[in-house]
Structure 1
Amino acid sequence: MAARFIVEADGGSRGNPGPAGYGAVVRDGDTGQIIAEAAEFIGHATNNVAEYKGLIAGLKTARELDPDASVDVRMDSKLVVEQMSGRWKIKHPDMQPLAAEARAVFPRGRVEYTWIPRERNKDADRLANEAMDAGKAGRQWEPRACAPAPEEPPLETAAPKAGWAAPADLGTPTTFVLLRHGETPLTPEKRFSGSGGSDPELSDKGRWQAERAAEALAARGSVQAVVASPMRRTRQTAETVAARLGLEVRYEDGLREVDFGAWEGLTFAEVRERHPEDLTAWLGSAKAKPTGGGESFTTLTHRAGVARDKILARYAGKTVLVVSHVSPIKTLVRLALGAPPDSMYRMELSAASICAVQYYADGNASLRLLNDTSHLR
């Protein structure tokens, strides 16, 4: 059955026009729980442009969760609601292409628009302001570990975080068992191997590692679903484990590795020799891209966060094996910890290693395991 979502969106401009940003949340249509967030600083723009961009981002986020869903859009912008409902004409040339883009996200008839007062759109408004604050600080907004956590009470009466609370306090968590793929011929040579390169298959050792991981996970007996990056090495690893568990593999493009651009197939030393300035910038900023049009870690954070939220929505309360790559797994771990982007350079993830993260209903996440390779000994 197709999902039903509520999208709340907003946008703002400090100066109108001025520094602008948008925010959007996607809620479960039955429970009202936030299952995904989106926000972005968009530079110099008007309030109306930012509001439309927030709407588009919310609709696209909902589509990524379920392309067959029906959506109830709720906004405090009377202009956007009336124009998108077809009751007001769109005369401004800046609004016309944005409205057309919004209409194209879902087929006609699957989206309804409702005006709500500003006080009922606080989450989207908060995200828009977070995006503008991030832009003022010279960075982009980044998603949190999951849905926004409630404010903490004073320290002396603070409730325990998910890692300390008994499972019964927060209900059954959704568990991600994060498995990095087995070795390829490029792995022992420590060469950049992303989604823009040769898409290598597993080596003989990599296939052996996948078999060992399958044995270990079968022995645990808790995995209820398998989701994987569509790249060859992750497909081969996931299919080996899934066959042992008697499960089907579902593929999620958001779990693929970063595109390393012109660095694909090179060692770190070779990149440092050929592209020293680009490498320094990349190591110093999550927004920097590898040479030749590669992908930044900021972009990865967004798509990995969307992939995470899609899996959480589909498999709530279950244990899911997520087969992916170094960078996406580190990103999911980093987001679970609320750690800064440069923390990714302080994690070691071996081929066919296992991590585990649990996500709770209150929006908290708990890292349970990191870089376990005991099944390979």
Structure 2
Amino acid sequence: MSRLYLVRHGPTHAKRFVGWTDVPADLSETDKIARLEARLPDAPIISSDLSRAVKTADVLQQGRPRLPHDPRLRENYFGAWEDLTWADVEARDSALARQVFETPGDTAPPDGESWNTLAARVAAAVEAHTGDVIVVAHMGVILTLLQKALNCTPYTALGHEISPLSLTVIHRKGDWAQGHWDATHINHFPE
């Protein structure tokens, strides 16, 4: 059995779609970061290559082995919706926006990627690792892995809150496709 310790990066305070848009994380909540770091195992740490995940992983590393940043762990790519507010997206593509978020699957934002494309990309990234690993990534990345662990629909997975600097722990037995998965902590804040 191995475990994925999934940490969402620090808050960005962005009020718009910032999938692949590289915005910094606010890492000023040092007490919260210290409690999170203390809860993590002595396991390799990997992150998305976007700066908000990289910098969060930097403060959590604390002597843990560091794996190369992996672009497959990036947030969902929102294409033409990148850097737009929800109001902008609704005004531009109201019906499509509802379809993307209410029936996630193969539908994608204009020039962006679908839920299924994101999930396949993330699966390829985590399949490359055996044993326990700390993954510092984004809400969408964590939700695709949570969908697998809970054996639920993408819509149900999207209903879960994954807050900045939260910890989600997934146990896996066997490989990605055939193994048994279980989520033991979702959106957890260590005390």
Q: 1:351 is matched by which residue type in structure 2?
A: P
For residues 221 and 201 of structure 1, what CA distance do their matches in structure 2 show?
23
- Indicate the residue corresponding to 1:372 in structure 2: 188
Counterpart residue type for residue 4 of structure 2: F
Distance change in 2, residues 1:193/1:329 (3 Å): same
Q: Percent identity?
A: 28
Offset from partner CA, 1:121-177 (integer Å, 9 cap, x none): xxxxxxxxxxxxxxxxxxxxxxxxxxxxxxxxxxxxxxxxxxxxxxxxxxxx21111
- How large is the RMSD of aligned CA atoms in angstroms? 1.9
The TM-score normalised by the length of structure 1 is 0.47
Runs of 4+ in 1 over 3 A off after TM superposition: 211-214
Larger radius of gyration: 1
**Offset of residue 249 of structure 1:** 4.0
Structure 2 residue corresponding to 1:326, chosen from 124, 127, 139: 139
**Partner of 2:128: helix, strand, or coil?**
helix
Contact 1:238 1:249 in 2 (8 A): no
Q: 1:179 aligns with which of 1, 4, 7?
A: 7
Task: Please say if residues 79 and 113 of structure 2, whose CA atoms lie closer than 8 Å, have aligned partners that are also in contact.
Answer: yes
Structure 2 CA distance for aligned equivalents of residues 237 and 218 of structure 1: 10
Q: Report the residue type matching 2:100 in the other structure.
A: W
Q: Tell me the amino acid that sits aligned with residue 220 of structure 1.
A: R
Question: Are the aligned partners of 1:179 and 1:322 in contact in 2 as well (CA < 8 Å)?
Answer: yes
The answer to whether the 8 Å contact 1:356/1:370 transfers is yes
1:303 alignment partner AA? R
Deviation at 1:267, TM superposition (A): 2.2
Deviation, 1:268, is 1.9
Q: Which residue of 1 is the match for residue 53 of structure 2?
A: 234
In 1, the alpha carbon distance for the partners of 2:144 and 2:121 equals: 10
Cα offset, 1:374, TM superposition: 4.3
Alignment partner for residue 311 of structure 1, among 111, 129, 137? 129
- The total of aligned residue pairs comes to 187
| Alignment correspondent of 1:355 | 168
What residue is the counterpart of 2:24 in the other structure? 201
Within the candidate set 87, 91, 112, 1:269 is matched to 87
Change (3 A) 1:223 1:311: same
Give the secondary-structure state (helix, strand or coil) at the position aligned to 2:162. coil
Counterpart-to-counterpart distance in 2, 1:246 and 1:320: 10
Structure-1 residue corresponding to 2:106:
287
Distance 1:266 1:207 in 2: 24
- Does the CA-based 8 Å contact 2:143-2:158 persist in structure 1? no
- Counterparts in 2 of 1:54-73, with a 5 A limit? none
Instruction: Structure 2 unaligned segments of length 5 or more: list them.
Output: none
Structure scoring higher RCO (CA < 8 A, sep ≥ 6) equals 2
Show the counterpart of 1:4.
none
Aligned to 1:301: 119
What is the TM-score when the length of structure 2 is the normalising length?
0.89
